[in-house]
Amino acid sequence: MSQYNYKDICHKVIKLTEEVGHFIATERQNFDDSKIEYKGLNDLVSYVDKTAEKKIVEGLESIMPEAGFIGEEGTNRSSSNGLKWIIDPLDGTTNFIHGIPIFSISIGLVSETDYCLGVVREVNLDECFYAWKDGGAFLNGSPIHVSRQTELKSGLIATGFPYYDFEKMPQYMNILMGMMEGCHGVRRLGSAAVDLAYVACGRLEGFFEYNLNAWDVAAGAIIVKEAGGVVSTFSNNPSYIEDREIIAAPPSIHKEMQSVIYKKWNS
């Protein structure tokens, strides 16, 4: 039994994302693209990402000062209790910069051995997806569940495209072809956290991507699991954060996706 009330902590995090989401939405209205910076090839960042992370870290420190941090914009701190916040202050920065309305805040809390809670707020529609360990998954207060579809051929799938590491493009294109031939369609929304949240609430039947970071998937994966979905690597292992590849879907569709992806990824 944990000494922490994750439900209570989760609701405090939800409130924090509401405040930071308002900041991000306000800045988008008057965003100056001359302030864009490059962290690497096609890897964009702005003062909005950095300021949002600072606000999130300050808020989380007041909620749970003993926890550590892993943040996309450089916040990194260990903890004595094994708990750490994994933060993407603005998942979908490229969408944000170009004025495409799909970007989000992603905050996950994990221990050394398990997940604790996750919150993903899609800023434009002001939709907050969240879950805590053994508590179920929710969207703006209402319970959510992964799609009831049982076959890939009846599903809509999301993925992400490589934007700097193109070494495995042939395998990826083979996977993409297999998915396009086997489902209703494939979408690329531009925010892995939103992709996972949409799997959790049944808007998408599945999501897969490779070369992701912990902050891209930590919160969303928790929500998918609590919504009844399965999350794994391409080889069906649970180490999706460490291996930087992920499949998330309802159980039966996950099995189909994993079969298609694994064969083509290793061909």
Q: Which candidate, 107, 144, 122, places its Cα nearest to that of 11?
A: 107
Alpha carbon 260 to its chain's center: 22
Task: Say whether 216 counts as a known binding-site residue.
Answer: yes
The phi, psi pair for 3, rounded to 5°, reads: -80, -5
Rg of the Cα trace of the chain?
Answer: 18
Residues, the chain: 267
User: Per DSSP, what are the bridge partners of residue 122?
Assistant: 104, 127
Question: Cα 6–7–12 angle (5° rounding)?
Answer: 90
Q: How far is CA 224 from CA 29, 139, 193, in A?
A: 31, 12, 11
Task: Say whether 8 counts as a known binding-site residue.
Answer: no
Task: Say whether 90 counts as a known binding-site residue.
Answer: yes
Alpha carbon 85 to its chain's center: 13
Q: How far is CA 5 from CA 10, 22, 65, 66, 196, in A?
A: 9, 27, 15, 15, 24
Task: Say whether 88 counts as a known binding-site residue.
Answer: yes
Residue 83 CB partners (closer than 8 Å, separation 6+):
64, 66, 67, 68, 109, 110, 111, 116
User: Per DSSP, what are the bridge partners of residue 209?
Assistant: 246
Task: Say whether 49 counts as a known binding-site residue.
Answer: no
Residues making up the binding site: 72, 88, 90-91, 216
Binding residues for Mg(2+): 72, 88, 90-91, 216
